[in-house]
Amino acid sequence: MIGGILIGAAIGVVLGTISGCTPGIHSNTMAGILLGVHPALLVLFGPAVFATSVTATLITHTFLDAVPSTFLGVPDPDTAISVLPAHDLCMKGLGEEAVRISALGSAAGAAFGLVLFPLFFFLLPPLQPYLDWWIGLLLLTVTGMLVVRSEAPEWAAVVFIASGVLGSFSLAYSYLSWEVLPGGSPLLLPLLTGLFGLPVLMKGAGGSIPEQIYRGIRMERREIAGAAAAGTVAGAIVGWMPGFSNATANAVLASFISYTRHGRGYILATSAANTANAFLGIAALYALSRARNGAMAAIATDELPPLAGIMLAACIAALAAYPLTILVSKGSRYLAALNVRRLNFSVILFLVVLTALVTGPFGLFILALATAIGSVPPMVSVQRVFCMGAIMVPIICWSILGIPLF
């Protein structure tokens, strides 16, 4: 049993590192690949290896996904908004600091997630029917706060509604897209890449990456603790709620932590939310038999292995992923020699081709619409957070009106 857990954790750390460092690739994609080779893993190693490898992939990915977000401005679907302050620090020559802050947040999210795990596992299942309904009102309140506090409330509402309509349309007609790999909604790739990724890449196509210098993490301990706690709570909540993703947690956090004025704190909080969400998603799977993400859905295809083995693999992955993230961040010092125009064009081309392969013509259509909407906020002095209507509006409709997400 222990041997299978260790083998699965090692496989997951390798795959999670690859998926985390590759722009546009989600942990669900690697979960789908593992699901495809599931029979071979069963024959070679036994059932425990598959579940632990998927779990370790998910946890490792939450650490390493800060790399393409910071240095290339390409969002992971789970942490779309955090790309903005992270990439901004990179443009100031502080990209390595941004990645280290993200790694610190993920480590805090893993630690706090373990502490909260028993509470969620034993106490929340009886309250689930009530939680499902109230979450829609919470999101409406958060949205109202964001719109009222924005510099241009009318435009903020327009961007939020337009992205919400696009998100609802994408979910309603998701069957028109190709489903090359199982797990999660494939249209999240073109939807969030268009809203948060391509506009940033196209805007910076003619720029250059400045020399990267690491001078330490410039955050006070109190700020680190506060951001880690806020991120863990947000990640824990969305990790438990059906239909939610870390993108929702990012939007909720944006109403409390300004990603323009407190960028470092926001990076840390969103990273903590991302990893805490992964840990609490495991609790939801075992306590409620509900899969909160594609990785958990892949695990649920078989009889669930013992919870202790899954949690051990998750902890091993977190312990390995933190130093790996720090190691990868040091490579940023060589980025100044790159041709940014050619690099950004290559990444844009890669994302378009990846969208075409994974989602087909309909995915490309969604990508084009999302890019058009995602280009509007900077033109009208509105924060890009309002593009999160693509995620929040469908969840509000599901929670309050009972309209299904899929």
Dump pLDDT digits (tens) for 106-128.
Answer: 999 999 989 888 888 887 777 77
Tokens for 111, please give them.
């630690």
Residue 364's pLDDT is what?
A: 93
Is the per-residue pLDDT at 244 higher than 60?
Answer: no
| Environment class of 214 (CB within 10 Å of its CB; exposed 0-12, middle 13-18, buried 19+) | middle
Buried b (16+ CB within 10 A) or exposed e, 329-357: beebeebeeeebeebbeebbeebbebbee
Residue 406 belongs to a domain: no
- Lowest-pLDDT range of 64-78, 82-96, 153-167: 64-78
Residue 390's pLDDT is what?
A: 83
Is the per-residue pLDDT at 359 higher than 50?
Answer: yes
Q: Compute the distance between CA of residue 391 and CA of residue 389 in angstroms, rounded to an integer.
A: 5
- Amino acid identity for residue 120 in this structure: F
Q: How many domains does the chain have?
A: 1
Is the per-residue pLDDT at 216 higher than 70?
Answer: yes
pLDDT, greater one: 27 or 352 = 352
Helices assigned H by DSSP within 262-401: 263-288, 294-299, 307-329, 340-374, 389-396
Secondary structure tally for the chain: helices H, strands E: 18, 0
Residue 110 belongs to a domain: yes
Residue 45 belongs to a domain: yes
Residue 189 belongs to a domain: yes
**Planar angle of CA 276, 280, 281, nearest 5 degrees:** 110
Is the per-residue pLDDT at 58 higher than 60?
Answer: yes
- Lowest-pLDDT range of 1-15, 164-178, 341-355: 341-355
Is the per-residue pLDDT at 183 higher than 50?
Answer: no
- Residue 184 pLDDT class (50, 70, 90 cuts): very low
What is the average pLDDT score of the chain?
78
- End-to-end, the C-alpha distance of the chain in Å comes to 37
Is the per-residue pLDDT at 141 higher than 60?
Answer: yes
- Residue 10 pLDDT class (50, 70, 90 cuts): very high
CB 136 within 8 A of CB 400: yes
Residue 116's pLDDT is what?
A: 87
* Over residues 36-59, mean pLDDT: 77
- Residue 311 pLDDT class (50, 70, 90 cuts): very high
Residue 123's pLDDT is what?
A: 77
CB 318 within 8 A of CB 108: no
Is the per-residue pLDDT at 316 higher than 90?
Answer: yes
Percent of the chain past pLDDT 70, that is, above it, reads 74
For residue 41, the enclosing domain spans 2-401
Residue 138's pLDDT is what?
A: 73
pLDDT, greater one: 197 or 95 = 95
Residue 280 belongs to a domain: yes
Residue 108 belongs to a domain: yes
- Lowest-pLDDT range of 35-44, 142-151, 238-247, 283-292: 238-247
Give which of 5, 111, 116, 105 is closest to 50, Cα–Cα: 5
Q: Compute the distance between CA of residue 67 and CA of residue 75 in angstroms, rounded to an integer.
A: 10
Residue 182's pLDDT is what?
A: 47
